[in-house]
Amino acid sequence: MSMLPVCNRIRSNIVPPSLPFSRLIHSLQFATVKAEEISGSKPAQVQNLVQGKWMTSSNWNTIVDPVNGESFIKVSEVDESEIKPFVESLSKCPKHGLHNPFKSPERYLLYGDVSAKAGHMLSLPEVSDFFTKLIQRVSPKSYQQAFGEVYVAQKFLENFSSDQVRFLARSFAVPGNHLGQQSHGFRWPYGPVALITPFNFPLEIPVLQLMGALYMGNKPVLKVDSKVCIVMEQMLRLLHDCGMPVEDVDFINSDGKTMNKLLLEANPRMTLFTGSSRVANKLADDLNGKVKLEDAGFDWKILGPDVHEVDYVSWVCDQDAYACSGQKCSAQSLLFMHENWSKTSLLRQLTDLAGRRRLDNLTIGPVLTYTTEAMLDHKNNLLQIPGSKLLFGGEELENHSIPKIYGAIKPTAVFVPLEQIIKTEYYDLVTKEIFGPFQIITEYKDNQLPIVLAVLEKMHAHLTAAVVSNDPLFIQEIVGKSVNGTSYVGLRARTTGAPQNHWFGPAGDPRGAGIGTPEAIKLVWSCHREVIYDFGPVPQNWQIPPST
């Protein structure tokens, strides 16, 4: 994914709380800003947190409002000469972590309590509304989509309340070879770790990964994309208010070069990165492979030969491709449509549904990693492929004030013939991820299913996928010959989902990271340690045997 991350981790059937009027955000004791009041005349400021203290640096990065271009947030960014406190902070954390099954086990209970309190806070309408609107200001999406992030974070925290944190560290024992011997397997922290997250889910991704790191006993330094870091700054203040020790997490704002230098000097035991494949591979090299990655999201959906519920499937396709303006690592990038679907109203409905999206309610909005020109150039390049055609979109949004550094295009779909997609000269172009409201649609016949599978096999990104069919043999064929780590199958299959109730992450790469579930937390934020107890007794009349 080009700057991903993560994804409709949002359930589209979630209904946000009813708020008859805008509540007074200053009633929130933890908050230092009011989402609605952030503006060029009253800019917000974002600080850094290191060794338990909020601080500013000598440099300020000005963030522009992605909707109107107004300078509205000032981020205190650390430069390369100012990273020493962060390096020292990580170095103070031992390799065995801040807690583990043998050390400070009461901290498992502490984080169960913090999670319970924070989950409750996010369930309060005034707190939920605050974070929803703050997300909208920096990563524009509809209220429903932004609220979905808050809801997922809330449910995740509720999931890991009370004793659930210590259950993550559950061990197992195996009988030994003789009396007094047992082997025990433990989940062990890495100690000092780093966490780097992208712009598109400014609350959900960092909250879920940060808390997972803390649950397992690690000391993380967190860097969120500066364009949206204000959301997580406010969330950290909420967590402190809920009892999280202020020294447990460092929060840094910087450019990529400075963060890279910090990682090289601090040498964290593990770094979780969610973002572009290019940066992910550089980090893997720089950090000698001590990484977990969620780094790509060119995701596909196959509509099987059995046609059902065209209205519903059309709506899901529109949501998968264009909600959050397509800026999800799980967004539908390539739609394989069986010829039976071509005979239905599917394409007409996709056109109509895309046409409903409007800038004034942010059901379509700014694209933060691609310019309008770059996306339209990509469209034009695709239209040079023989047999390709523009299905809808392909134009700049009308009557907008989105700054030129960002993108502003209508939801777009380009049809490319399947026989052209598989060709070497076109494959890379067709499967280039455009992190915006842009998808490829193609058609296949029964005898072309092997070509569809060949297209999937050539892909390097294996995050989400969907097989829309109720034919178990068809599903079995596709799932058995594909890789994607989060795959939905059945009539209601989608590419986007809610990760607090299931694994979300890629497959096929040993560096792959998951999010949301106990399995994901244990995989990413802990390693296995074996402790073998061997107390004896030594057999009676034992004598030293001959050397072997």
For residues 498 and 476, give the distance between their C-alpha atoms in angstroms, rounded to a whole number.
24
Percent of the chain surpassing pLDDT 70: 95
pLDDT-derived band at 9 (thresholds 50, 70, 90) equals very low
Sketch out the chain's domains with CATH numbers.
82-295+518-527 (3.40.605.10), 300-489 (3.40.309.10)
CA–CA distance from 173 to each of 101, 137, 170, 318 (Å)?
A: 14, 51, 10, 49
Q: What is the pLDDT of residue 1?
A: 38
Q: Are 36 and 231 spatial neighbours (Cβ–Cβ below 8 Å)?
A: no
Catalogue the active-site residues. 294, 329
Determine the average pLDDT of the residues in 54-76: 97
Determine the average pLDDT of the residues in 377-382: 98
Q: What is the pLDDT of residue 14?
A: 46
For residues 353 and 347, give the distance between their C-alpha atoms in angstroms, rounded to a whole number.
10
For residues 397 and 376, give the distance between their C-alpha atoms in angstroms, rounded to a whole number.
12
Task: Report whether pLDDT(64) > 60.
Answer: yes
Determine the average pLDDT of the residues in 530-539: 96
Percent of the chain surpassing pLDDT 90: 93
Residue type, 374: A
Model pLDDT for residues 462-484, shown as the tens digit of each residue: 999 999 999 999 999 999 999 99
Model pLDDT for residues 217-276, shown as the tens digit of each residue: 999 999 999 999 999 999 999 999 999 999 999 999 999 999 999 999 999 999 999 988
Q: What is the pLDDT of residue 536?
A: 93
For residues 138 and 349, give the distance between their C-alpha atoms in angstroms, rounded to a whole number.
31
Determine the average pLDDT of the residues in 508-519: 95
For residues 528 and 534, give the distance between their C-alpha atoms in angstroms, rounded to a whole number.
19
Determine the average pLDDT of the residues in 456-460: 95
Q: Are 255 and 83 spatial neighbours (Cβ–Cβ below 8 Å)?
A: no
**413 phi and psi angles, rounded to 5 deg:** -135, 135
Residue type, 313: V
- Let me know how long the chain is: 548
Task: Report whether pLDDT(2) > 50.
Answer: no
Residues 6 or more apart whose CB falls under 8 angstroms from that of 420 comprise 385, 386, 387, 388, 426, 430
| b/e burial code for range 426-442 (CB count within 10 A of at least 16 → b) | beebbbebbbbbbbbbb
Determine the average pLDDT of the residues in 138-149: 97
Model pLDDT for residues 273-311, shown as the tens digit of each residue: 998 888 999 999 999 999 999 877 799 999 999 999 999
Q: What is the pLDDT of residue 27?
A: 76
